[in-house]
């Protein structure tokens, strides 16, 4: 099978990111990589103990101080239907991290990590929306612009935003139109 070299298809769906049978799903992680609430907690719960073990190894070897905001790192996906989980740490508006470039970096570095591991399909949540205090419309605009600007990686065929809740889904639908 010949892999695509043009721009990937970009879409938004309302649903559960842990149910996505794509090459990779992106985890809106905290810097510890050891699980948390929201999307992070749901991914860790669905993936089982293998994901936590991989994250502990990443912390021990590559990021002993934690994964920096905007960076991304991939692990195997444990019991999830995806092959990999790409962990990225979004900026926390409540902690004064209000630079849109930090949020955009979550998406661009995750796409670079997807290309590095050979993923043809990637699912993103609304990184930093919700508990990290970013408005869904602002996240959607930044995310879509970042993905459109960086989604030229060879072999990438599909970028899917998998969104929790009608309001966030509507924000991404507007940003994609």
Residues 6+ apart with CB under 8 A from 118: 23, 155
Half-sphere exposure of 64 (CA within 13 A, CB side): 2
Which residues form the catalytic set?
A: 40
Helix (H, G, I), strand (E, B) or coil at 104: helix
| CA–CA distance, 72 with 89 (Å, rounded to integer) | 7
Helices 49-61 and 38-47 cross at an angle (nearest 10°) of 110
């Amino acid at each position: 099978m010949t892999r695509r070299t043009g721009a990937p298809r970009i879409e938004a769906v309302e649903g559960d990111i842990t149910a996505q049978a794509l090459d990779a799903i992106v985890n809106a992680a905290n810097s510890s990589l050891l699980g948390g609430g929201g999307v992070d907690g749901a991914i860790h719960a669905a993936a089982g103990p293998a994901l936590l073990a991989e994250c502990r190894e990443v912390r021990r070897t590559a990021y002993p101080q934690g994964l920096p905001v905007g960076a991304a790192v991939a692990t195997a996906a444990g019991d999830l239907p995806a092959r990999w989980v790409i962990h990225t740490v979004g900026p926390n508006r409540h902690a004064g991290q209000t630079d849109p470039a930090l949020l955009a970096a979550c998406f661009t570095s995750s796409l670079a990590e997807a290309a590095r591991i050979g993923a043809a399909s990637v699912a993103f949540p609304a990184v930093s929306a919700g508990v990290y205090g970013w408005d869904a419309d602002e996240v959607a605009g930044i995310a879509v612009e970042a993905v459109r600007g960086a989604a030229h990686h060879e072999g990438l065929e599909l970028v899917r935003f998998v969104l929790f809740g009608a309001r966030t889904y509507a924000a991404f639908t507007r940003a994609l139109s």
